[in-house]
Every structure is written in C-alpha cells, then in structure tokens.
Structure 1
Amino acid sequence: MMDTVQAIALAFDYSAKRLLSFKENLEANAQVKEEMVRRQKLKTLFETRWASRSDSLNTFLSAYNVVVDSLEDLEQQGDSKARGYACSIDFIVSLVVVQSTLQPLVPLSAMLQNKEIDLIEAVAENKVVIEQLRRNRNEDGHWDDLFHKATVVAASVNEVPVIPRGVARQVNRVNVPAVNPSQYWKRAMYLPFVDHLIQELTSRLVKNEDRFAAQTLIPQNLHVLTNDMLNKIFTCYHDDLTATTVVEFQEEVDRWRIKWDMARDPTCKLASLSETLAVTNFNLYPNIFICLSILITMPVATATAERSFSLMRRVKTHVRSTMLSQTFKSLSATRL
C-alpha cells in the first residue's frame, strides 16, 4: 500500500500533465480542497521518516476521490500508466487503518529526532503510545469506527469492502476465517499490524529502559536518582564496571552526589551527557565515567546518522568527487 501511494504521488509530482489534471479535479471538489489545507498536490513519503509517512497517507486519504477522478481522466486521454494506477488503489481499508494507527506515533517520532532528547522521558512517552495502541486494539468500537470510515470512503467512489477470494488450502495469501468483510480485515490486517508496531516499540525502547536509567547520573538529574534506579544501573552495567558490589558502586554515587551538592552555583549544574562526561574524572569516579561513556554511544534513534547522510549528499557532489577525506571531514564539521 505504501509503495503504491509513493508511486502515484511521484507520478503526479513529476508529470506536468498529471499534476494539471489533479489540480483541475481538486478545484472542482470544494470539500477535498478544504481538507487538503491549501495543498495543491500529493505529498511524497520518505523511507526513514515515519512522521512524514503519516502526513503523506493523510494527504492521500483526503484526496482519494480526486486521485481516482484524475486517473480516470488521464486514462481517457491516453495515459498508459493511469489504468494500472487506478487498478492498484483498491486498498481503502488498509489506507484508513494505517493512517489512523500511525497518527499517535507522529509526536513520539518528532521527540526521538531531537538531538538533546531525554531518554527516560522518551521511554515513558513510548509506554503511553504502546498503551494507547493496546487499548484501541482491544476495543471493538475503535475498529468499528475505522471500518465505517473506510466504508464511507469506498462508497464515495462506488466501491464496497469485500473479502478477497480464497480457497480451502490457501498458503500464499492471508486466509483467515471470517463471516463478513469487517471481521476479515480486522483479523487479516489490523490486528497483525498493531501487534507488529507494539512489538517494535517495545524491543527498541522499553527493552533498554534500565540502561537509559544511567541518565540520572547527570548532575541536573541526580534528584530523581533512587536506590531502585541505582540497583538497575549496576545490574545493567555490571560487566563493564570496576566495582564488584552494589555497595561499592553506591558509595561512589554518594560521593558524586555530594560533589554536586557542594557546587558553588547549584543553578549551573550540567544538564547534558557530553558536558558531564567531559568533567568526570576517571580516577575519582571510574564507574560513573564508564556508565556515561556507554550511554553516550547508545542513540535512541538513527536521526543523527541520517542527518549525516543527508549532509554528505550536499557536501560531496559530483563536482567534488575527488575530494580527500580530510577536506570532506572539515566541511562536514562546519556544516553541522
């Protein structure tokens, strides 16, 4: 479904004739034009930015009628690919469900892309999103609303949701038992999709929650460091620490806490991980130094690395293909 949405968005975006047909049909449909919020074309989606995917699917869903009308007009005008695109957009139920399910992930995705993200807060917000997905999954009324919305969209283009053709010994397609289209799409598409999202969110963030607790060692966060968190930190980092017992580690943390309590200006306590690591004396606080060193190498998201790749495209162009590594490194550091 997402690949087809991307293909159709690019087809309209890179063809003046198709884009003109889309704009003409958009002007003729006042309701869709209002839902598009001053947009004149479809929004392409990015492979790595899930926030943009939700926005792209929302735009495509709002302009679904216009897309269908435009493809029909282009087919009558002799566009050879319009017929193929028109036959491939029979995924209304999937479109509605995925767009609605990804919507709660947009604020979380934006939060995870922040360079100075709070790891503990990110895990807490991730748990909220997971709980929201679970409640929606187990609530029949939520699915009924989604399926009703898909039915309304299908009716606007003279279609009705149906159960795909299946056989008794089907092995290559989803062949779940169902008595009606609503039950089929819920079992075949909605439940597996939501379960996959919950599993991914849990394995990527919640699973590393104890390791992220080392963020409480930052001076500005010491007031939230409890004995329970301290035990979790020691358990997670035990293999790399010089302390052999939790009591030894706790004594070092107590000295670390007193050090910052005796600071001349308590309001100037360090708030970032990199700044704290720079002033931590390894000889005096070896275990804290190790914890912070490991934590700083554990990015919660890949946004920073993807920004580097995007920057590389702008710095090392075809004209600069023979650029040496040192020059490229210097220019990249300047841009960042």
Structure 2
Amino acid sequence: ETFNSLFPVVVELLTNLMKMKDRESSVRSNLFYGAISSSEFLCSFPILNKLLSFTTNVARSLPNSKIDLMTCISNIEDILQGIQMKRNEPDEEYKYLFEEAQDLAKYTETIIKMPRVVKRQINRDNIPASSAYEYFKLNIFIPLLDHFIVAIFIPLLDHFIVAIFIPLLDHFIVAIKDRFSEHVKKAAAISCLIPEHIADKSYDDLLPAIELYQKFLHCSTAQLKTEFVLWKKRWTDIVTEDSFTSLSSYSGSNPNTVNMKRKEQVFLPDK
C-alpha cells in the first residue's frame, strides 16, 4: 500500500536518476524503470496489493503475545472465504484491478500489452488469450488467487492449528490435570467433617485438607486434633441417638418386635 501511494514519486525519481552523468546510477535506474514499467509488473502490482490487504490484520495480530487464538483462526478462515469468493467470480474484481494497472501505466507512459507468445513456453504461464485484458487475468490474476489459497493460507491455517493451537491445548489439559487433580484430592479430604461420613474417619484422613488450608487455620495441631475428636463424638452420638429413636418407633408399630422389647426390659438394670 505504501509503495502504491509512492509510485508516482518513485517514477519521477528514477526518471531524474536516468539523466545523471554517473553511468552506474544511470544504468541501474534505467533497469529499475524498465522493470516497473513492464506490463507484467503493472498488472501484478495492483493484484498483489489487493490480496495482501486481506492479510494486514492477521499479520499485525500474530506477533502479539496476548493473541486470541480462536479469533486468529477465525480471521484466517474469513480471509480464505473472501479470496475464494474472488476466485469463484474473478471478472468483477479483476475489472477494477486492470483499470488500476492502466492508471499506473500513465505514470510510466507505457501501454499494457501482451508479451510475445510462443507455442512452447517453459519460463512462464502461456495460456492463450485474445487481448491483454484476458491474458493477464488468465496468466496472473487467477493463478495468484489459486496460489494464495492453496500454497499460503491453507498451509498457514494447518500450521497454526497443528503447531500452535493443538500443542497449547495439550499443554493446558496437562497443566489442568497436574495441578487440579492433586488439589481436588486434598480439598476432598475435608468431606471427613460431614456428619454422615465422620463416624469411620480419623484425624489422619483430614490431614491433606489441613495441609492445603493451613494458612487459614489460626490454631495449633493439638487444638485441631481436639476439635476433630469433639466434633466426631458429637455427631456420632447424634447419629446413634437418631438410629435408636428410629428403631424404637419401628418396633412400636411392628408386632414381631414384642419379644425383642421384652428382652430389652429384662436386661435393663434397676435404678
């Protein structure tokens, strides 16, 4: 885009350099001027400028350390779709690009024309065409579109997914497993304090959770052990009492437990 905007200035500079008495400067500037005034360059330049404009946002975002990977992949896919749309209907876009090439040719005072075509051509594409307009569309515009799609963006997308995105996901999964699996195991030990589970638990079963939350516990190990014992005794007694009450209620409503009740009465000590 910058070179495109400076093209008139570059042409003027090379024109002035060709008039210099210094032979080396004059010869080199003449070679450069011949290159930028050729029909192949004048037609290729607007096409490349257009195609590269698709990549500007992605090129700026890739070096960013805070890059959003999903957004970047989405942007590459959007670029592929955009170029594919141009490829499916090339005539409309090419019309404006060829007009732009003709405008550039005015600065170099040249006419866009077909190169000499021979039957056997090995150094460049040689698709038959009836005019310069048709020739550069078939031999430059469409092949460049295909090259961008097949040789650049699809491998770029594949490389981005395989070399960056998937390894990052793998690293994230492994890090999650390594970090949180151990964390969860330690944190789960606090379930020992749940009344319905505490009956068959010991202080040692609670130790992983105590180690994990040590900085939040403002008491000694002896105090923790004492609190655990008291907490366990309290809920063990409550659970036992509830169980006895439930059994008594069941026995009172069941005729089959009469003998059991009598036996209980026999063994009750005198007060």
Q: TM-score per shorter chain, which class?
A: 0.5 to 0.7
Partner residue in 2 for 1:123: 73
Please give the secondary structure, in 1, of the residue aligned with 2:178.
Answer: coil
Question: What is the CA deviation profile of residues 292-314 of structure 1, one whole-angstrom value per residue up to 9, with x for unaligned ones?
Answer: xxxxxxxxxxxxxxxxxxxxxxx
Provide closer, same or farther for how the CA distance between residues 168 and 129 of structure 1 changes in structure 2, counting only shifts above 3 A. same
Q: Per-residue deviation at 1:102?
A: 0.3
Q: 1:175 is aligned with what amino acid? A: N
Query: How does 1:208-223 map onto structure 2 within 5 Å?
Result: 209=161, 212=165
Partner residue in 1 for 2:156: 204
Q: Per-residue deviation at 1:279?
A: 6.0
Question: What is the CA deviation profile of residues 49-108 of structure 1, one whole-angstrom value per residue up to 9, with x for unaligned ones?
Answer: xxxxxxxxx222222222222212111122332212211212111111101110010001
Matched, 1:108 2:61: no
Distance 1:76 1:156 in 2: 17
Q: Is the 8 A contact 1:126 1:206 kept in 2?
A: no
Partner residue in 2 for 1:176: 127
Please give the secondary structure, in 2, of the residue aligned with 1:186.
Answer: helix
Unaligned runs of 5+ in 2: 183-271
Q: 1:87 is aligned with what amino acid? A: G
Provide closer, same or farther for how the CA distance between residues 282 and 191 of structure 1 changes in structure 2, counting only shifts above 3 A. same
Provide closer, same or farther for how the CA distance between residues 187 and 281 of structure 1 changes in structure 2, counting only shifts above 3 A. same
Partner residue in 2 for 1:66: 9
Please give the secondary structure, in 2, of the residue aligned with 1:160.
Answer: coil
Unaligned runs of 5+ in 1: 1-57, 218-236, 238-272, 286-336
Matched, 1:141 2:92: yes
Q: Per-residue deviation at 1:159?
A: 1.4
**Looking at CA atoms only, which structure, 1 or 2, has the larger radius of gyration?**
2
For 1:85, which of 5, 8, 32 is the aligned residue?
32
Q: 1:97 is aligned with what amino acid? A: I
Q: Per-residue deviation at 1:173?
A: 2.5
Partner residue in 2 for 1:161: 112
Q: 1:60 is aligned with what amino acid? A: F
Partner residue in 2 for 1:185: 136
Partner residue in 1 for 2:204: none
Runs of 4+ in 1 over 3 A off after TM superposition: 206-215, 276-280, 282-285
Q: Which has the higher helix share?
A: 2
The count of aligned residue pairs is: 172
Distance 1:123 1:66 in 2: 38
Partner residue in 1 for 2:214: none
Q: Taking every aligned residue pair, what percent have the same amino acid on both sides?
A: 27
Q: Is the 8 A contact 1:127 1:206 kept in 2?
A: no
Distance 2:155 2:176 in 1: 33
Q: Per-residue deviation at 1:213?
A: 6.3
Provide closer, same or farther for how the CA distance between residues 82 and 212 of structure 1 changes in structure 2, counting only shifts above 3 A. closer
Distance 2:166 2:15 in 1: 56
- Give the TM-score normalised by structure 1: 0.46
Distance 2:138 2:69 in 1: 35
Q: Per-residue deviation at 1:117?
A: 2.0
Q: 2:15 is aligned with what amino acid? A: E
